[in-house]
């Protein structure tokens, strides 16, 4: 979200499906997630004012939000989808844990 909404980067919108390809592994999924975190952290570091508006509208409301909103939204989405990440991990490595 920081890359597309805050900086306005013209990048392909990610596929938010829960489907894995045959080549996906726990390691490849984790590596992709870590790359996304690193990219977001670099964008956040360059923002010296959390009230600075995004370059484009984001979210269902289609509103231009400030970086502060983007950060809170990212925290909410990470917490909300932690269980989904575990489902993906179970699909990738076949183990089911509690």
Is residue 30 in some structural domain? yes
Residue 52 lies in a domain: yes
Beta partners for residue 53, in sequence order: 66
- Classify residue 69: in a domain, yes or no: yes
Q: Is residue 98 part of a domain?
A: no
Q: pLDDT (tens digit, 9 = 90+) per residue, 32-82? A: 889 988 988 998 999 999 999 888 887 678 888 899 998 998 898 888 887
The domain in which residue 57 lies consists of 2-93
For residue 51, the model assigns a pLDDT of 95
Q: How many CB atoms lie within 10 A of CB 13?
A: 6
Q: Is residue 72 included in any domain, yes or no? A: yes
Residue 48 lies in a domain: yes
Q: Over 80: is that where the pLDDT of 3 sits? A: no
pLDDT of residue 1: 55
CB 26 within 8 A of CB 93: yes
Is there a domain that residue 40 lies in? yes
Give pLDDT, residue 49. Answer: 94
Q: How many C-beta neighbours within 10 Å does residue 50 have?
A: 13
Q: How many domains are there within the chain?
A: 1
- Asked, for residue 39, whether it belongs to a domain, the answer is yes
């Amino acid at each position: 979200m920081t890359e597309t909404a805050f900086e306005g980067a013209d990048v392909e919108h990610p596929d938010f499906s829960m489907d894995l390809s045959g080549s996906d592994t726990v390691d490849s999924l984790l590596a992709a997630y870590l790359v996304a975190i690193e990219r977001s952290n670099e964008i956040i570091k360059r923002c010296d004012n959390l009230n600075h508006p995004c370059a484009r509208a984001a979210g269902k409301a289609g509103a231009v939000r400030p970086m502060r909103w983007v950060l809170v939204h990212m925290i909410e989405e990470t917490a909300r989808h932690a269980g989904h990440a575990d489902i993906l991990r179970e699909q990738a490595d076949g183990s089911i844990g509690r």
